[in-house]
Amino acid sequence: MKEEMERMLGFVLKHYRQGAFEGGIQADAQDRRIRSFPIWRYVAAAAAAAAVILLVFLFRPASSTLEYLAVNTPERVELPDGSIVTLRPGASLRYSDSKDGRNVNLEGTALFKVARDENRPFKVNAGESVVKVLGTEFQVKQSKGNVSVDVFEGRVLFSGSEDGVILTSGMESVLQQGAEAPEIVEVSFPNPTAWMTGVFKYDGTSLDTVLAELSDYYGREFVTSPEGQDRVLTGSFFIDEDPETIVDAISSALEINITVK
Partner 1 sequence: MALIDIEDLYRQYFRQLCLYALHYMGDFDESRDIVQECFATVIKNKPEMSNPKSYLFNSVRNRCIDLLRSRKKERIAPMDDLSYISDEEAQIRSEIEVRLWEAVDSLPPKRRELLLLSKRDGLKYSDIARLKGLSENTVRNQIFRAIESLRKNSKKILNFLFCL
Residue 33 binding partner 1, by CB under 8 A: no
> If DSSP codes are grouped into helix, strand and coil, which group holds residue 116?
coil
Binder among 108, 154, 160, 192 for partner 1 (CB under 8 A): 154
Please identify, among the stretches 26-34, 180-188, 198-206, 234-242, the one whose residues bind partner 1 according to the rule CB under 8 A: 26-34
Mask: binding to partner 1, 109-148, rule CB under 8 A, as x and -? ---------x---------------xx-------------
49, 41 in Cβ contact below 8 A?
A: no
Give the whole-angstrom CA distance, residue 142 versus residue 232: 29
3-class DSSP string for 153-221: ECEEEEECCCCEEEEECCCEEEECCCCCCCEEECCCCCCCCHHHHCEEEEEEEEHHHHHHHHHHHHCCC
Nearest distance from residue 115's CB to partner 1, in Å?
A: 9
Residues 15, 33, 99, 261: which binds partner 1 (CB under 8 A)? 15
Cβ atoms 175, 158 nearer than 8 A: yes
Binding status of residue 162 toward partner 1 by CB under 8 A: no
Residues 165-204 that bind partner 1 (CB under 8 A): 166
Of 10-18, 55-63, 180-188, 212-220, the window that binds partner 1 (rule: CB under 8 A) is: 10-18
For strands 122-126 and 102-107, give the pairing.
parallel
Tell me which amino acid residue 173 is. S
Rounded least distance, CB 20 to partner 1, Å: 6
The type of residue at 187 is: V
- Contact set for partner 1, span 201-220 (CB under 8 A): none
Binding site for partner 1 (CB under 8 A): 1, 5, 7-18, 20-21, 24-25, 28-29, 32, 118, 134-135, 154-155, 166
